[in-house]
Amino acid sequence: MRHSEACERNKRVILEVLAALLPQCSTVLEIGSGTAQHAVHFTKQMPGLRWQCSDLAENLPGIQARVDLEGDDLLPNPIELNVLTANWPAGRFDAVFTANTLHIMPWDHTLVLLDQVVKVLVPGGRLIIYGPFHDSGIHTAASNAAFDRSLKSRDPDMGVRDAVEITAQAARRGLHAEADLALPANNRTLIFRQASSIPQKT
């Protein structure tokens, strides 16, 4: 089972954000669950929250191991979900959550993610994105600028994403910016809300 120190550091502050946003018994789809430490922490601290982990196939065994060891009925088995796939879950969710994924996947994948999220959210549902961001191409923290350089040296398709651009792309799809919360270590949580009419599934 993999372990993320970053998750241990940020899970409490993210929980505070989620607890203020999500009514009891919400259903959440997480994209890129990684180690599933967030999923376990959030479902333990928010009774009634039903949290669907997902990730690329290669990460599923580790997530499954943690779910088996630490999860319960409200933390079902993880599902394979590459945002590029056509096979997004058939159900609808009160929220889609993703942490520290957008700077890992190529920018084009984020656009597909936004396209698909619109189809799996209930009317009024929220997209909640945690991670480092810059604004209109300008880094807001030296640590994020250094992180961006290190990501791009690993893979030119990776990089800290632009909150302004994400917000504009989300708005085109009917996901309206609700909040942009500054969190420790120069991370942020961007929160978008789905319009009230239901888009047709394709």
Ligand X SMILES: C[S@@+](CC[C@H](N)C(=O)[O-])C[C@H]1O[C@@H](n2cnc3c(N)ncnc32)[C@H](O)[C@@H]1O
Q: Is 12 left (phi over 0), alpha (psi -120 to 50) or beta?
A: alpha
Q: Which stretch binds ligand X (CB under 6 A): 21-29, 78-86, 133-141, 189-197?
A: 78-86
Please pick, from the candidates 28, 67, 83, 190, the single residue that binds ligand X as defined by CB under 6 A: 83
Residue (74 or 104) nearer to ligand X, CB:
104
What does the alpha-carbon distance between residue 70 and residue 65 come to, in Å, rounded to a whole number?
A: 9
Q: How far is the CB of 64 from ligand X (least distance, A)?
A: 14
135: β partners: 138
Could you list the beta-strand ranges (E) of 22-116.
27-31, 50-52, 54-55, 79-80, 93-99
Q: Which of residues 26-65 bind ligand X (CB under 6 A)?
A: 31-35, 38, 55-56, 59
Residue (40 or 46) nearer to ligand X, CB:
40
Q: Which of residues 102-131 bind ligand X (CB under 6 A)?
A: 104-105, 109
Nearest CA to 30 out of 71, 181, 134 is that of: 71
Q: How far is the CB of 11 from ligand X (least distance, A)?
A: 9
What does the alpha-carbon distance between residue 46 and residue 76 come to, in Å, rounded to a whole number?
A: 15
> Is the distance from CB of 178 to CB of 192 less than 8 angstroms?
yes
Q: Which stretch binds ligand X (CB under 6 A): 68-76, 87-95, 97-105, 157-165?
A: 97-105
Please pick, from the candidates 26, 101, 116, 194, the single residue that binds ligand X as defined by CB under 6 A: 101
Please pick, from the candidates 28, 99, 114, 158, the single residue that binds ligand X as defined by CB under 6 A: 99
Name the token pair of 152.
């791009």
Please pick, from the candidates 100, 144, 189, 194, the single residue that binds ligand X as defined by CB under 6 A: 100
**Using CB atoms, what's the residue nearest to ligand X?**
34
> Is the distance from CB of 187 to CB of 162 less than 8 angstroms?
no
What does the alpha-carbon distance between residue 176 and residue 78 come to, in Å, rounded to a whole number?
A: 28
Write out the residues near ligand X by the rule CB under 6 A.
4, 6-7, 31-35, 38, 55-56, 59, 81-84, 99-101, 104-105, 109
